[in-house]
Amino acid sequence: MKIYTKNEFYLNKSKILKDIVNGAVFIYPTDTIYGIGCDARNPESVNRIYNLKETREKPFSVIVPSKGWITKNCDVNDYFSKSWIKKLPGPYTLILILRNNKCISENANLGKTTIGVRIPNHWISEIIKELGFPLVTTSANKTGKEFMTNFENLNHSIKENVDFIIYEGEKQNRPSSIIDLSKDNLVISKR
């Protein structure tokens, strides 16, 4: 397992992007906390993350390459959906009805009709845009345990079983707010 700073990431970017395309599972920073992710289209890599988190109860959200990806693959025909998408990038996970279930692996959202989408206000979003496909995004922790804000609270088992980590120091934030736009009534959940 390799640890990269932001500068080291950019020095090794072509190799790292190739690793992601080839199925790497890795930890990365966002505008909120550290996430663990992989190519959301790769079922084997998605299963690795479920195993690391020790759960299969909740579907994963994805960081998407663009707002265009959202409008192409999700239902965003109402006023609330469009107005929330305009707020991206930001510390929000928007739950939307998934129109194109082929854009992610079925196990990424556990075959549900909805998907959580994010575009963090962070340089990592430019990397996902360059990749051109969504990445699984979930907190870097065992389910129900403390989420990673620095190396000291990263679970040892997770640390030892990811392919690499992009580390940029301690995070002082909370996970993203969940905005459920898939129902008739808007539901906002702070974590």
At residue 64, the 3 state secondary structure works out as coil
Q: How confident is the model at residue 96 (pLDDT cuts 50, 70, 90)?
A: very high
* Domain extent listing, the chain: 2-189
Topology adopted by domain 2-189:
DHBP synthase (3.90.870)
- On average, the pLDDT of the chain sits at 93
Closest CA to 119 of 94, 90, 95, 81: 90
Identity of the amino acid at 122: H
pLDDT at 178: 92
